[in-house]
């Protein structure tokens, strides 16, 4: 299960890759596990944080490559984009925390815990949608409507690809 948990946490980094911070606190690892050559929880969290930073950079490159901006538009767009990503990161920190709790609890999740994680995950989805709705008029102040729509298409497609990859790796709760 440890190997599976590590791979799921790495994939969680993909989901949260558009952000930079890992808000979840690392769980304590027994000294014998750290001494046995297994990665520590702090090491795993650090690896995921680095993965998230790298993926955030790659996402920005994908947006830049697929959203045709004039120099004047780019000057106005990128600061708004960076602000959007900071807010999105905070939401994705909660998504990471939910995924981490799922992995740590898998095999012993109670009905109440499973429902709590489900509700928290759905709240994350709602918050991402709310953030996008908040930013449509903000992006509309710096870009024409077709480019705003294109940006959100790119943003949603990239997130959907990452989410699909992650969800394909997570075991069904009922299978525990």
Considering only residues 18 and 58, tell me which one the structure prediction assigns the higher pLDDT.
58
**Whose CA is closest to 18, among 78, 79, 81, 75?**
81
**Whose CA is closest to 104, among 112, 91, 113?**
113
Which structural domain, as residue segments, surrounds residue 50? Answer: 2-175
pLDDT digits (tens, 9 = 90+) for 52-97: 788 889 999 999 999 999 999 999 999 999 999 999 999 999 998 9
Residues 6+ apart with CB under 8 A from 25: none
Count of structural domains within the chain: 1
Provide the 8-state DSSP code for 176. -
Phi, psi values for residue 89, rounded to 5°: -60, -45
Confidence class for position 37, pLDDT limits 50, 70, 90: low
State both tokens at 24: 């979840």
pLDDT digits (tens, 9 = 90+) for 118-169: 999 999 999 999 999 999 999 999 999 999 999 999 999 999 988 898 888 8
Task: Calculate the alpha carbon distances from 7 to 115, 141, 171 in Å.
Answer: 24, 41, 12
């Amino acid at each position: 299960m440890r190997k599976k948990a590590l791979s799921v946490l790495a994939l969680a980094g993909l989901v949260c890759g558009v952000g930079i911070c890992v808000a979840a606190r690392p769980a304590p690892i027994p000294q014998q596990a750290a001494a046995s050559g297994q990665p520590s929880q702090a090491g795993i969290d650090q690896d995921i944080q680095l993965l998230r930073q790298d993926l955030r950079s790659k996402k920005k490159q994908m947006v830049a490559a697929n959203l045709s901006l004039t120099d004047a538009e780019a000057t106005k767009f990128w600061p708004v984009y960076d602000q959007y990503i900071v807010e999105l990161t905070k939401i994705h920190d909660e998504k990471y925390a939910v995924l981490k709790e799922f992995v740590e609890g898998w095999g012993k999740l109670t009905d109440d815990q499973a429902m709590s994680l489900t509700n928290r995950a759905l709240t994350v989805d709602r918050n991402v949608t709310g953030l996008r709705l908040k930013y449509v008029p903000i992006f509309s102040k710096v870009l024409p409507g077709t480019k705003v729509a294109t940006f959100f298409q790119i943003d949603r497609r990239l997130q959907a690809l990452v989410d699909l990859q992650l969800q394909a790796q997570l075991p069904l709760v009922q299978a525990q």
